[in-house]
Chain A
Amino acid sequence: MPPQESTGQGAITVEHLTPELTRGLYRDMRTARDLDTEAIALQRQGVFPAYVSVRGQEAAQVGSASALDPTRDFVFPTYREMAAALAYGVEMVGYMATHRALWHGGLYDVMESRFGAINAVVGGPVPHAVGWALGERLRGDDGVAMAYFGDGASSEGDVHEAMNFAGVFTAPVIFFCQNNQWALSVPNERQVAGGSIAARAEGYGMTGVLVDGNDAGAVHTVTAEAVERARNGGGPTVIEALTYRVEPHSTSDDPGRYRDESDADRWRRRDPIDLLRAAMLEAGHADEEFFADVDAEAARRAEEIRDGVAAAPEPDGSELFTHVFRETTDELTRQHRTWQEEVEL
């Protein structure tokens, strides 16, 4: 099924899921949406130099991250995975610090979070996920690595190399492509030869799945299946979650120069949070009181994170030199002294 045709239905169903699960999905998606809105506001106020919105991709990110086990799995993100980080339990002030440009990789502890550093080389972390996954297999452990990337990154050689390695080593890794149909200004038809990233899985001898990326329950279900397969020695999976980047690429972008916003409007009407909410009401998973409570709680939490990141101290200049090496060098120590004498006044 070519992704362009997989725009999904006007409604989704959650009948096959438990209320406990869908309530958690809704809470995280709602919180991510509010935090995203706060982040755009922080950029407008000059607190963030720039921001990359995840709006419209909450179902793809929360649906997939919620299928992982943060005590034994490991996530390798790129730079647009805020909702996945939130759902996975990453300390969010530390995560958002990267958007305030306090530290490139974020200020959360990547090893404790089991959520890799924010990485701006799209495709670059994908072979890391394969290496981590191979490391699990070699040790006889059962963790699963999750590599997030986008339709643009799917063109990178590293992604193809990583998929081939994963196939050869039967590595327990999930290649999760959020196809939001725009790599900055370049649409899918100029990016994805053959029209399907999921279809590439077959060539690497693994399962490929195309899923409606705006259907949180569907994303969760296919990811849980892939996790189960990987954990039990069944090897890697490619999941292509078809969604849409309804916002500009970043706050510095101007989509009016390259796309017709009527397409984006069509996707805005398939908002993943609205779809989930309607399906939960339909299935009797929650009532209006639940949504009122959760919406209020999400707004509060988003504000707390916003205030935390806005108030976070800037790193001390000496940190320029602290983490370059585990065992620093005489030359770097000398340069540190130069910095103290000539810069730190």
Chain B
Amino acid sequence: MTELIERADTAVEPRTVELSMQQAINRALRVLLSEDPNVLVFGEDVGALGGVFRVTDGLQKEFGDQRVFDTPLAESAIMGMAVGLAMNGWRPVPELQFDGFAYPAVDQIVNQVARMNYRTRGAAPMPITLRLPSFGGIQAPEHHGESLEALFAHTPGLKVVAPSDPGEAYSLLLQSVRSDDPVVFMEPKARYWDRRPVQLSEPTDPIGTSRIVRPGRHATLVAWGAMVHKCVQVAELAAEDGVDLEVLDLRWLKPIDTAGLAASVSRTKRAVVVHEAPLTAGLGAEVATLVTENCFRELAAPVQRVTGFDVPYPAGPLEPQYLPTIDRVLLAVQRTLEY
């Protein structure tokens, strides 16, 4: 068993390979299944099919159908089963196939997973990582493009993370599954197929730290998940006009890196927060408040929010008009610079 527990796949020096995010998550799951015999991967279609996004491709073949297995189609029971497995010493990594189908499981996630450690005064920890393909951008049917981060971040007892690129997804998943707290791991499905050179490395930053994707001087763009890539595109365009934008990838949506956020905005004096979820009571409001509370004297302009609209998630042709566009972010940058 000791060979299994050894982190064989990662014990070597960090190395660079070209991977899509979906492949990088697959690699991380392989590491986790190898290093800890208590890790279980389960959900709808994660076995022979390898998941609808192929994230679990080959895992059942490699680790067997006792470690990687399909469940019946019932999200609440998938999460409820994870609670019981955790109480029996396992480390469950369930997948709910799409964001919108997490709603049937909200009772188990909010009333059970998030509270069990508290309810039992620490006797029954819930080392569960819920993998949730999230956010929009793939012109999918209804309920396949939702952004649930505010709901989960608002729930005491949960940690919430949304990676923005393959390397991030790899190390953040290792960190999430190894954590003894329940984590909602929101995978930006619009970025699943984004291939790029990835440094497969052990997580080094503590849970709850953000990262500066692109340093800049004139304003900070705050984003997570697929919106990070969009903000980098915005920054590149703005640079052509001599506007130097910093892009801050929040990564952890609970706990939020208040210090990192404040440090960036204190330097740039301006902030634009960008998310796919609807505006009202979205996480952008939390970011804006944290910035105001911590950088009030340094701020040169009110925090701008560029978000989805307060409407149900629209069908395919309207999706590009719903999601924050490059132009809308640029306009917000202009508003904050001209304030």
Q: Identify the A interface with B (CB < 8 A).
A: 74, 76, 103-105, 107, 109-112, 116-117, 119, 121, 124-136, 138-139, 145, 157-158, 161-162, 164-165, 168, 319, 322-327, 329-332
**CB-CB < 8 A to B259: which residues of A?**
330
Q: Decide if A124 touches B80 in the complex (CB within 8 Å).
A: yes
CA distance A124 to B80 in the complex (A): 7
Number of interface residues of B (CB under 8 A): 47
Cβ-based interface call for B141 (8 A): no
CA distance A125 to B112 in the complex (A): 8
Chain B residues with CB under 8 Å of A133's CB are 84
A121 touches B111 (CB 8 A): yes
A18–B302 alpha-carbon span in the complex (Å): 79
B96 CB to nearest A CB, Å: 14
Q: With A and B bound together, what is the CA distance between A119 and B83 in angstroms?
A: 13
Chain A CB within 10 A, most for which of B85, B87, B125: B87
The total of interchain contacts (Cβ-Cβ below 8 angstroms) comes to 149
Interface window among B71-79, B317-325, B331-339 = B71-79
- With the chains together, A117 CA to B120 CA distance in Å? 6
Contact among A107, A128, A161, A168 for B83, CB-based, below 8 A: A128
A124-B108, A161-B76, A164-B74 known; A131+B124 contact, CB < 8 A: no
In the complex, chain B residues whose CB is within 8 Å of the CB of A104: 119
Contact A117–B84 (Cβ < 8 Å): no
User: When chains A and B are docked, how far (Å) is the Cα of A131 from the Cα of B116?
Assistant: 15
| B207 interface residue per 8 A CB criterion | yes
- Quick one: closest B residue to A105, CB to CB? B119
- Contact B120 A105, beta carbon cutoff 8 Å: yes
Question: Are A127's CB and B84's CB within 8 A?
Answer: yes
Residue of A with least CB distance to B74: A161
Q: Given A135-B85, A135-B90, A327-B181, A164–B80 Cβ distance below 8 Å? A: no
Give every chain B residue within 8 A of A330 (Cβ-Cβ). 208, 255, 258-259
Contact A165-B77, Cβ < 8 Å, known A105-B120, A117-B124, A138-B40: yes
Contacts of A135 in B (CB 8 A): 84-85, 87-90
Q: List 5 A-B contacts (CB under 8 A).
A: A74-B88, A109-B123, A131-B92, A165-B71, A326-B122
Q: Is the CB of A325 within 8 A of B112?
A: no
Instruction: Report the minimum CB–CB distance from B308 to chain A (whole Å).
Output: 25
Chain B's nearest CB lies how many Å from the CB of A92? Answer: 17
B206 to chain A, nearest CB (A): 9
Q: Which residues of B contact A125 (CB under 8 A)?
A: 112
The 6 closest A-B pairs by CB, nearest first: A131-B84, A127-B80, A135-B88, A131-B81, A161-B77, A105-B119
Separation in Å of the A241 CB from the closest CB of chain B?
22
A323 in contact with B88 given A131-B81, A131-B82, A168-B72 (CB within 8 Å): no
* Complex partner residue of A131 from B72, B80, B258, CB under 8 angstroms: B80
Contact of B181 among A116, A129, A326 (CB under 8 A): A326
B218 within 8 A of A: no
Which of B79, B120, B159, B179 has a CB less than 8 Å from the CB of A110? B120
A207 to chain B, nearest CB (A): 20
State the CA gap A1–B77 with chains docked (Å).
30
B219 to chain A, nearest CB (A): 25
CB within 8 Å for A129 and B116 given contacts A111-B123, A327-B207, A329-B208: no
* B2 CB within 8 Å of chain A: no
CB pair A138 B81 closer than 8 Å: no
On chain A, the residues within 8 Å of B90 by CB distance are 135, 138
Q: B256 on the interface (CB 8 Å rule)?
A: yes
Q: Which residues of A contact B208 (CB under 8 A)?
A: 329-330
| Contact status B159-A127, CB under 8 Å | no
How far is it, in angstroms, between the C-alpha of A127 and the C-alpha of B72 when the chains are bound?
Answer: 13
The CA of A107 and the CA of B121, in the complex, are separated in Å by 8
Q: Which residues of A contact B71 (CB under 8 A)?
A: 165, 168
Report the bound CA distance from A107 to B120 in whole Å.
Answer: 8
* Residue interface mask B238-267, A partner, CB < 8 A = 1: 000000000000000011101100000000
Q: Is the CB of B119 within 8 A of A127?
A: no
Across-interface contacts of B72 in A (CB, < 8 A): 161, 164-165, 168
A134 x B116 contact (CB < 8 A): no
With contacts A109-B123, A111-B123, A325-B159 taken as known, whether A331 is within 8 angstroms of B255 at the C-beta atoms is yes
- Is B103 an interface position by the 8 A CB rule? no
Chain B residues near A324 (CB, 8 Å)?
117-118, 156-157
Contact residues in B for A128 (Cβ distance below 8 Å): 80-81, 83-84, 87, 112
Cβ B181 vs Cβ A117 within 8 A: no
* Beyond known contacts A117-B120, A134-B81: 12 more, CB 8 A cutoff: A105-B119, A127-B79, A127-B80, A128-B83, A131-B81, A135-B88, A138-B90, A323-B117, A323-B120, A323-B122, A324-B157, A326-B179
**In this assembly, does B180 line the interface, its C-beta being within 8 Å of a C-beta of chain A?**
yes
A116 in contact with B87 (CB, 8 Å) = yes
Nearest CB on B from A244, distance (A): 29
- By the criterion CB–CB under 8 Å, are B124 and A138 in contact? no
**Contacts A130-B77, A162-B77; A323 near B121 (Cβ below 8 A):** yes
B77, B112, B208 — most chain A CB neighbours (10 Å): B77
Give the nearest-CB partner of B80 in chain A. Answer: A127
Q: How far is the CB of B83 from chain A (nearest CB, A)?
A: 5
A127 touches B77 (CB 8 A): yes
- Are B112 and A124 in contact, CB atoms less than 8 angstroms apart? yes
Point out the residue from A103, A129, A162, A325 that lies within 8 Å of B121, measured CB to CB.
A103
Task: Select which of A116, A162, A329 is within 8 A of B80 by beta carbon.
Answer: A162
Which of B40, B79, B117, B123 is within 8 Å of A325, CB to CB?
Answer: B117
B66 interface contact, C-beta 8 A? yes
